[in-house]
Structure 1
Amino acid sequence: MADMRLRESTTLLLMEMFSGGLLLILVMTSSADQEVKQNLTSTVGGEVTIPGPVKSSGYLVKERLVIASVRESGLQIYVKGFLDRVSWDRDTGRFTIRRLQSNDSGIYSVNQGDKSDSIKLSVYDAVLEPGVTVTSVSSEGCTLLCAVDQLSGGTLSWYQGEVLVNQSSTQRSLPLTVDRLALRSSYRCVSANPAGNLTRSVDANTSCTVQQRTGDEDEEESNRLLRILIPIFSVATVISVIVFVVKRRKRATDLQALILSAQDVTPKEEAVQENTLYDLLQAPRIVDPTAAERT
């Protein structure tokens, strides 16, 4: 494949040698044999502008493969895979590659006359935002799990404040155990690669159901219970008072009814009652008639 690319490059350059034979030697000794002066990074789907301007004539080369040339202020693209993706700015003289792909990574050079500048381009997958879930909770604390769908050429890291506490460049999920005494600390999970990073911050004190127990929290809990219990006791007291008043009124009503019923008696009934009472009082005085006669 490398020889085929070299032959393609040679063929393209031979087409140009009649108008500038010296360029054949300059381009053939470019790219991989030169020192890389700059590293560029970008993401799939993004774009990058290659340093090194070409004002009137020159070449854009990727690892000995001529991608495009500028002759008499006109751009010509030779590689099909770069059609409609490589442009040249007439004002700045710079090449730009758009809609980058993973296989666009490599060493590029811009050749102009006796000048040649090489750069290394690294194209990474776009960084995905991590997600955080709580996987377990106990009286000692909880475990948080940070995960991404894809981790290509990057890292997944846990930070407590500004301190790195766990990191992986191979696993798409990364656990973190948080002690109950450290729930109030700030935590963040960072998904990153050389092209960028995305962060998910976590409030462990809220995410974990186990709460840190301190004197202040105990006092707050007591106050919360008092705020709940006081209204309950108040309502119960009011109900008790109401029940007591109702019962007292009922007793008073029953007593009044009893008095009224005692007072509501006819004269005849009073006479019967008086006779009966008299009879009862006089009963012991009745003497046996036989005893009276003997006397």
Structure 2
Amino acid sequence: MSEKQPELGVYSAMETQMTVVFFFMVMSSSAADKVTRKLTATEGGNITLPVPVSEFGVLLFRGRMIAMVKDGNLDILSKNIYSDRILWNNNTGLFTLTGLQRNNTGDYLITFPNGDRSSAFKLKVYASVPVPAVTRESVSADSCTLLCSVDAAEETTLSWNRDEQIVNSSSSALPLPLTVQLQDFSSQYNCVAENPAERKSHALTVETLCSTDTTDVNNNRHYIIPLTIVFIVISVPAVFIIMKICFNYKTTTKQTQDLLTKVQYSVRQNQLSDAPPVDGALGHRLYDPSAAADCTDTSTVYTTLHQSSQTLQR
């Protein structure tokens, strides 16, 4: 127990001495002229402060000391803010803040014992920019309209680039359309979403997204004239054939009707010629049952008509 007490006393003395040293350092640095540099970073990413600390220096965040380099060793003073997310490279002497969060936005200061080389930074941590999405809005034989969109993000803008040149842009994250003419379908286009800290793009060839419907439209246009010619070539003879069939049908029907009329007339003549003799006394023809039966035999008439019809059709 007695051995631990001197160690605690030494630690307390060192802590007090460090606090006094930091106090004078902060006071001297606040009096010196500083140029504030603006830095941007993405949430979840890293940022390296571009001022080296070789042997001794202090890193402050919003006026609070969070890390110190002394005798070539790093000591993190604010465990609850950065914990082990502050790195120091003993070769370059640079601080790196890792695993950035939105609440890490603010003013940073690197100060040295003499205070004449203090460096100030204003860091802004942005939400990560999503990869933009591209959809096809419409397509025709001569053009294709595309739409670039992105989920809402802070200070994000959209733009359309072709061969590294901006062809359309907006100052917000609202969906941005682009109409591409047929002659430019083979060009490479990029939909770009960016904020001050990050840039992401969606590269595409318009022909890939629009070629299917465009090809169908073009093919249909190529097929219209040949199909029209084929239709005419087929339909014109068909009309003549149908007209001829109708004409032949009318002719055959008329001939059949004429034949039927002749047969009926012949039957009547036969009935008259085969009639029984007239009774001179009574002035009437004598009735012959057998002759009447022969004259009124309908099967004979229909057989004659059938044979006549076949003859005409031949």
Whether the 8 Å contact between 2:67 and 2:74 is mirrored in structure 1 is no
Match in the other structure for 1:69 = 68
Gaps of 5+ in 1: 1-12, 226-295
Query: What residue identity is the alignment partner of 2:160?
Result: W
Secondary structure of residue in 1 paired with 2:111: strand
State TM-score, norm by structure 1. 0.58
Misfit runs of 4+, over 6 Å = none
Following the alignment from structure 2 to structure 1, what is the Cα–Cα distance between the partners of residues 204 and 66?
47
Whether the 8 Å contact between 1:14 and 1:24 is mirrored in structure 2 is no
Following the alignment from structure 1 to structure 2, what is the Cα–Cα distance between the partners of residues 21 and 187?
56
Residues 249-295 of structure 1: CA deviation (Å, up to 9, x unaligned): xxxxxxxxxxxxxxxxxxxxxxxxxxxxxxxxxxxxxxxxxxxxxxx
Q: For residue 151 of structure 1, report the CA deviation from its aligned partner.
A: 3.1
Q: Over aligned residue pairs, what C-alpha RMSD do you find?
A: 3.5
Query: What residue identity is the alignment partner of 1:192?
Result: E
Query: What residue identity is the alignment partner of 1:123?
Result: V
Match in the other structure for 2:185 = 183
Residues 47-103 of structure 1: CA deviation (Å, up to 9, x unaligned): 122222333332111232322223454513236221221233344333221101122
Match in the other structure for 2:254 = none
Listed as ranges, the matches of 1:1-295 within 5 Å are 16-19=18-21, 22-29=24-31, 34-36=34-36, 38-72=37-71, 73-78=73-78, 80-114=80-114, 115-208=117-210, 209-211=213-215
Following the alignment from structure 1 to structure 2, what is the Cα–Cα distance between the partners of residues 15 and 173?
59
More displaced stretch, 101-110 vs 85-94: 85-94
Whether the 8 Å contact between 1:45 and 1:98 is mirrored in structure 2 is yes
State TM-score, norm by structure 2. 0.55
Gaps of 5+ in 2: 1-14, 227-314
Q: How many residues align?
A: 206
Whether the 8 Å contact between 1:17 and 1:23 is mirrored in structure 2 is no
Following the alignment from structure 2 to structure 1, what is the Cα–Cα distance between the partners of residues 92 and 141?
64
Q: For residue 155 of structure 1, report the CA deviation from its aligned partner.
A: 1.7
Residues 133-166 of structure 1: CA deviation (Å, up to 9, x unaligned): 1122245523211122243223211123343222
Secondary structure of residue in 2 paired with 1:81: coil
Following the alignment from structure 1 to structure 2, what is the Cα–Cα distance between the partners of residues 161 and 133?
20
Following the alignment from structure 1 to structure 2, what is the Cα–Cα distance between the partners of residues 163 and 156?
14
Whether the 8 Å contact between 2:53 and 2:69 is mirrored in structure 1 is yes
Over alpha carbons, which structure has the higher Rg? Answer: 2
Q: Percent identity?
A: 34
Following the alignment from structure 1 to structure 2, what is the Cα–Cα distance between the partners of residues 163 and 21?
53
Following the alignment from structure 1 to structure 2, what is the Cα–Cα distance between the partners of residues 67 and 153?
29
Q: For residue 181 of structure 1, report the CA deviation from its aligned partner.
A: 4.8
Secondary structure of residue in 2 paired with 1:22: helix
Q: For residue 203 of structure 1, report the CA deviation from its aligned partner.
A: 2.3
Q: For residue 175 of structure 1, report the CA deviation from its aligned partner.
A: 1.4
